[in-house]
Structure 1
Amino acid sequence: MPGAFCLVLHSHLPWLPGHGVWPLGEEWLFQAWVESYVPLVAELDSLAAEGHRDVLTLGVTPVLAAQLDDPRMRRDAATWAGLWAMRAREMGFDRDPSRRAAAEREYAAASDAAARLATRWGAGASPVLRGLRDAGVVELLGGPSAHPFLPLLLPELAHLALQAGLADSTWRLGTRPRGIWSPECGWHPGLAATFRDAGVGHFVVDEQTVRDSGGHPHAAWRVAGTDVVAVPRNLEVTNLIWSSRSGYPASPVYRDFHAREEFTGIRLWAITEADVTVDRKRAYDPAEAAHQVDHDVAHFVDAVRDQLLHAHEVRGEPGLVVAAYDTELFGHWWHEGPAFLGKAIRALRRAGITVSTLEQAVGNGHVAGDLDLAPGSWGAGKDYSVWDGPAVRQIAHENEWLQRRWLDVLARERAAGRLSNRRPDLDQLLQTLWHALSSDWAFLVTRGQSVDYARRRAEEHRRDFHLLAQLVEDGRREQAVEEARRQGLQDNAFPALDARLGVVSVP
């Protein structure tokens, strides 16, 4: 089959330790970790054992990597898996045989996750990621520090965020990633120099961004005037899974994410029909779901093949199909997702389709030419409105003021000759800035999801930033260091960050 297929997974959660537990907060991390990241790595390990290499491209944001390496989060994730097992054990005494069967499945899954957390994940995520990369199973993508929406950053801050994120990945993983995931697939032409100067080789954009620029989604494109390559995701193939209404995860036989048993929280039901109450839902049948996975895998392979044949027919040369998703879709939101991914990779290769990483595809010449890449994102409307629209205009305005104040504080301290040594107050000030600029807060507000939590998080980080900045500006060094220590007890995602350089100091 001419051409190549690339699967890209983007793994990200904002900084959650110390910021609530449920429904958003630390349990958000534990759910994604245990239900998505653990089974995904298990599937990749199985593929590796079968001899598969260049399976997919995996992005893990620096702020998520910090949480997956954090000792307390590792302990608490294990506790969370243990509590999951206890809840399943409790249901095991139910009189209903279907509930007892579900409890047995859940107990086995929880016990397996706990064992993997203690062994494969025992030292955190970094050794796991390094091992998969060094074995040639995955390509790892980097990205800016705490997932800011780059098109809305001042040029100096966009440069700083990207350099800091890539340095952190180098510190954790041993090598500097060549490819990145620009948060929310955000792009504007002013980022070309930022990416080039950071040594970025390639990054993912939305198909519509390329189409709006006069290109097509069947190849990657060099950003005009640079050697940086933009790789568009193929929406027709991506939406076979991504679409909430018509995508595979909406199949009636798959396990319902939202419907939970009242006392244990265990998911007992199949989706059955959209928007029906629990009393009208069927019991979840794993065998029926497994059969549906096989059906959907076959359909997915046919769709990829059709796209590659169409691209070859239209262009007269091998094409490229890129499907890109949030990692948390697989396992957490779509229970059967990890199994689907493993089966899909195997089936694609059996069908003669080349499965590749982004770096390998670019290196093999799947680049159509130069393109003046227009602004865009993968958000609703394919523009910036999710992050600067009417609902979040105040957040966008406050974020700009935070950036300008940081630049002003640093310039004053430099002019006064007070940057000869590491400054814990400035190091923490920069960390607090990154957390405030996370794209997640505006996204949640615009989408109407956990609005109060998102607004509170944004406001807390802004408040902490201004409090610490004022102490620095007033020359109250002892109070500034003490305030930095207080903030660092909760928000210390990047302990090696040197604010004087704006990056992690890599040995």
Structure 2
Amino acid sequence: MSDEEGTFCLVLHSHLPWLAHHGTWPVGEEWLYQAWAHSYLPVVDLLRRFADEGRRDLLTLGVTPVLAAQLDDPYCLRAFHEWLGHWRLRAEHAGSLWRGRLADLAAVEYRAALAATEEFETRWRHGFSPVLRSLVDDDVVELLGGPATHPFQPLLDERVRSFALRTGLADTALRLDHRPAGIWAPECGYAPGMEATYAAEGVRRFLVDGPSLRGDTAAARTVGSSEVVCFGRDLEVTYRVWSPKAGYPGHAHYRDFHTWDHEVGLKPARVTGKHVEPADKAPYDPAAASATLRGHVDDFVDTVVTRLRTLRREHGRRGLVVAAYDTELFGHWWHEGPAWLEAVLRALPEAGVRVTTLRGALAAGHLGGPVELPASSWGSGKDWRVWDGEQVADMVEANTGLQRRLLALADAPHVRTSRDPVRDQAVTEALLALSSDWAFMVTKDSAADYARRRARQHTERFDRLAALSATDPARALAEAANLRELSHPFGHLDAR
């Protein structure tokens, strides 16, 4: 593989909170099934095709334990299969209603639904883990793990933080027979000293946002006095695709994520313009989108090459660019995203860029000296305000109290030497309440009521189980069994 210009690492972060049995539309299971159909299936398909071509160390793929649990869950597998069938029926209905260019789009939707169903019924019928394991075993991807339910780690008590991380890494090892050496720290959240937790749990590398390294992301760096390594996201390159204000997916020719034909449940419009009302948006034109995509592929490759040449002039050696995105961007949020992703991964090596994983970047020598990292995240302001700001102060206070009660439950005398299903479920509910998603959704005013309800619901379930375990063990067992039907991502979780 050529590395004349330098090294490029693409990191994808795959995550959704626990959604099964917790609402459907507009927030809930529908969110999971849309991302599954439009992002996870096509991204895995392109990885499999690269694997068939003999490509190795292609990209670094983070999959959070709570998402993996849903993609393996028997209930979710059945429900997603039904969702795929409804997608085909919606496309058929659109074909009977839409005219002109939209009639062609309905036919494209129908074929996509059939292809997704066939892919799911053949390769995914036993869940995600067998599919992912083949990619990991063949070194097509480097796998990143993470804490069990994607909590914002800087706001966790050290014991809770360690337990959440240990539980998440153990879950990945059980599913894939592979314990990740690296993690995607949820929200890239970091507090000074967290590298000690990582080292204790066997984590050797993690991601931070570029400003945490004051923009010096041209090499990985050891953190403090530890041997744990951090990689910084290069925002100059990353933001060409997706930024708070601009990026490729907002181009007028691309399919509009927010505009629905609610009669058929499909998206018929192109972006058209930032300030154009949904009713006034132009019909989606796949040919125009495809032509725009080719230009954006060329632009991104040029951006990476230019950045690497600049780094080489500044540092006197080949540099490293790390671009990191949510996997759900590709297909779910940005309809054309998977096609762009495949084209970029093919074009960069042709432009003289080494494309590899974080592991591969270290093997290529992209490691600098130690660094002291500040408290940081990849959220607004690059600090903790999204998860610890005024809008969510009540949630932070509630989570702090929940952690105190969780630790009190853990420290309470307990006569049983075997596992206690009541305590196991109580701990599960506490971890689900501590998911970073709830505060993010409130701060960003994205289904904030749903997020507050979910956080409160799991906290109340924990408190109910904790109280019953001390006063009415028989009723506590029955309550825990009922809650396991709704929220049971980690069968191995042991409260002891």
TM-score, normalisation: structure 2? 0.97
Q: Deviations over 1:59-91 (max 9, x none)?
A: 110000000000110111111111011011112
Distance 2:233 2:167 in 1: 26
Residue 218 (structure 1) shift? 1.1
**Equivalent residue for 2:429?**
432
Which of 39, 47, 71 lines up with 1:36 in the alignment?
A: 39
Percent identity of equivalent pairs: 48
Residue segments in structure 2 that go unaligned for 5+ positions in a row: none
Matched residue, 2:120: 117
Q: 8 Å contact 1:220–1:367 — kept in the other structure?
A: yes
Question: Is residue 180 of structure 1 aligned with residue 176 of structure 2?
Answer: no
Write the letter of the residue equivalent to 1:230. C
What's the secondary structure of 2:149's corresponding residue? coil
C-alpha separation in 2, matches of 1:261 and 1:2: 46
Give the letter for the 2:257 counterpart. F
Give the Å deviation of 1:363.
2.7
- 1:486 paired to 2:489: no
Q: Secondary structure at the match of 1:373?
A: coil
Number of residue pairs aligned between Structure 1 and Structure 2: 493
Residue aligning to 1:476:
472
* 8 Å CA contact retained: 2:145, 2:180: yes
Q: Does 1:129 align with 2:132?
A: yes
Which of the numbers 454, 463, 470 marks the counterpart of 2:451?
454
Corresponding position of 1:409: 409
Q: Which residue of 1 aligns with 2:25?
A: 22
CA displacement, residues 264-310 of structure 1 (integer Å, 9 cap, x when unaligned): 02211111111202343222111111111111011100111111111
Which letter does structure 2 place at the counterpart of 1:498? D
Change (3 A) 1:95 1:210: closer
Q: Does 1:57 align with 2:57?
A: no
CA drift at 1:244: 5.1
> Structure 1 CA distance, aligned partners of 2:91 and 2:182?
41
Match of 1:355 in 2: 355
CA distance in 1, matches of 2:422, 2:98: 59
- Structure 1 letter corresponding to 2:334: W
**What secondary structure does 1:92 align onto?**
helix
Q: State the alpha-carbon separation in 1 of the partners of residues 287 and 44 from structure 2.
A: 23
Give, in angstroms, the shift of residue 95 of structure 1: 6.2
The answer to whether residue 443 in structure 2 is matched with residue 443 in structure 1 is no
The one-letter code matched in structure 2 to 1:174 is D
- Report the residue type matching 2:461 in the other structure: D
Q: What amino acid is aligned across from residue 78 of structure 1 in structure 2?
A: H
2:463 equivalent to 1:463: no
Provide structure 1 residue ranges, at least 5 long, that are not aligned to the other structure: 501-507
Higher mean displacement: 62-71 or 397-406: 397-406
1:429–1:465 contact (8 Å) kept in structure 2: yes
1:216-242 per-position Cα deviation (integer Å, ceiling 9, x unaligned): 111111001111001000001000111
Give the counterpart letter for 1:43 in structure 2. Answer: L
For 2:438, the aligned partner's letter is W
For 1:139-154, list aligned pairs within 5 A: 139-154=142-157
Task: Give the 3 Å change call, closer, same or farther, for CA 244–390 of structure 1 in structure 2.
Answer: closer
Q: Secondary structure at the match of 2:67?
A: helix
Residue 262 (structure 1) shift: 3.3
- The normalised TM-score by structure 1 is 0.95
Give the conservation status (yes or no) of the 8 Å contact 1:244–1:250. Answer: no
More displaced stretch, 242-251 vs 160-169: 242-251
Mapped contact 1:269–1:284 kept (Cα < 8 A): yes
Answer whether contact 2:77 2:127 (CA < 8 A) is retained.
yes
> After alignment, is 484-493 or 276-285 more displaced?
276-285
**Residue of structure 1 in register with 2:327 after alignment:** 327
Q: CA RMSD in A?
A: 1.2
For residues 257 and 70 of structure 2, the distance between their equivalents in structure 1, rounded to whole angstroms, comes to 24
Corresponding residue SS for 1:119: helix
Q: In 2, Cα distance between the equivalents of 1:24 and 1:222?
A: 40
